[in-house]
Amino acid sequence: MTILPVISEVRGRPVVAPMARPFTTASGSVPAAPLLLLDVITESGVVGHSYVFGYTPAMLPAMASIVRELAPELIGEPIAPTRRTQELQGRFRLLGMQGLLGMVVSGIDMALWDALGKLTDQPVAGLLGGEPVALRAYDSYGMVDPQRDERALRDSIESGFQAIKIKIGYPDAARDVAVVRWVREIIGPDIELMVDYNQSLNPPEACRRVERLREFDLYWVEEPVAAEDLAGHSSVRRATGARVQTGENWWFPRGFQAAIAASACDFAMFDIMKIGGFTGWMLAAGQAQAVSLPVSSHFFVEASAHAMAVTPTADWMEYLDLAGAILLDPCRPVDGHVTAAGPGLGITWNEKAIARYAV
């Protein structure tokens, strides 16, 4: 019987990493990636890595503090990801898993799976019963500018991407229409096009705007209303017939359960940092299969490629590089597809870059 090594240290290191393509949304801009890098160190010398995204640098000190507070709960325990995650969920049952705590717990879960993969010399996808496969990906843009972004969009298509996502939700609805029309003309009729409102509209305005986009053959309309407004998402679906995508802001599998009950969406988008790491993702993937909902990923391309490889209703990978600047071997698409690396998550820190971008 294999005895799992025990945890000797858990640490979180905040960085603000430059991005090859900073992005702007209807709800704010992300000029660089505020990341908390997580290391789970074992007595045997195996170290599990993962990272979580703070949205704004202002959240990084609080997230690092949570890691320090959780560390005593983990030190001396074996690297058994599901068991450790269940224990942390039980420990904070009264508080709940929403917010920064849930993000950090999910990140620890990912790091534990990474450590287990390194221990066994397997990719995490293999530990979950599958194997790395080439997954179709869409190239994910923010709000695009016709003067600035035409060459980049053409480069995306020429590199093999078969789908593009852009963010809209401009103050003027006519601007939404003009930008979507321009992008459709650039990429042509055979490339899938998705739009993301980033929760910027109320349901009546969402219905009005989505109707005006009908001619552009959109693959999905993402988060047209506030993420927690499940009834609003459902009403947009019913009123417009548009295929609605949401899910990146669901907290753990029960958040997905509520969306299913509300008939909120045609697609599910799992954020591995909010769905509960790999442990939560696998539970949610079973729910998606049971109701035949296609699943796409949100951010975290390195980890999501493993999770999507074992998701029965896998649809699209989102390709948006948050961490490439602090990795020795960043995950890069090949002919519009992303394949998981290993062992573990295939993550190796670039320590010189981390020192440069540390905050």
CA dihedral over 118, 123, 68, 321, signed as positive or negative: positive
The string over 198-215, giving b where at least 16 C-beta atoms fall within 10 Å of a residue's C-beta and e elsewhere, is bbbbebeebbebbeebee
Q: What is the DSSP string of 63-97?
A: HHHHHHHHHHHHTTSB--HHHHHHHHHHHTTTT-S
Among 118, 167, 233, 306, the active-site one is 167
The beta-strand segments (E) located in 170-276 are 192-196, 220-222, 244-246, 267-270
Bridge partners (DSSP) listed for residue 36 = 14, 52
Say how far apart CA 168 and CA 175 lie, in whole Å: 9
Local confidence pLDDT in tens for the 359 residues of the chain: 568 999 999 999 999 999 999 999 998 899 999 999 999 999 999 999 999 999 999 999 999 999 999 999 999 999 999 999 999 999 999 999 999 999 999 999 999 999 999 999 999 999 999 999 999 999 999 999 988 999 999 999 999 999 999 999 999 999 999 999 999 999 999 999 999 999 999 999 999 999 999 999 999 999 999 999 999 999 999 999 999 999 999 999 999 999 999 999 999 999 999 999 999 999 999 999 999 999 999 999 999 999 999 999 999 999 999 999 999 999 999 999 999 999 999 999 999 999 999 99
Query: Would you kindly state where each structural domain of the chain is located, as residue ranges?
Result: 7-124, 130-350
User: How confident is the model at residue 261, as a pLDDT?
Assistant: 97
User: How confident is the model at residue 346, as a pLDDT?
Assistant: 98
Whether 233 is catalytic is no
Domains 7-124 and 130-350 share a fold: no
Say how far apart CA 2 and CA 4 lie, in whole Å: 6
DSSP code of residue 127: H
- Tokens 């890069």 appear where? 332
Whether 118 is catalytic is no
Domain 130-350 of CATH type 3.40.50.1000 = no
Cα dihedral 340/249/19/186 (nearest 10): 90
CATH superfamily of 7-124: Enolase-like, N-terminal domain (3.30.390.10)
Say how far apart CA 69 and CA 57 lie, in whole Å: 20
Q: What is the DSSP string of 303-340?
A: HHHHHHHT-TTB--EEE--SSGGGBSS----BTTEE--
Among 118, 165, 298, 306, the active-site one is 298
In this structure, what token pair is assigned to residue 334?
């090949």
The string over 144-173, giving b where at least 16 C-beta atoms fall within 10 Å of a residue's C-beta and e elsewhere, is beeeebeeebeebbeeebbbbbbbbbbeeb
User: How confident is the model at residue 27, as a pLDDT?
Assistant: 86
- Tokens 């969920």 appear where? 89
Bridge partners (DSSP) listed for residue 9 = 41
pTM of the model: 0.96
In this structure, what token pair is assigned to residue 294?
């296609």
* In contact, 168 and 180? CB cutoff 8 Å: yes
Sheet containing strand 7-25, edge to edge, reads 7-25, 28-42, 47-53
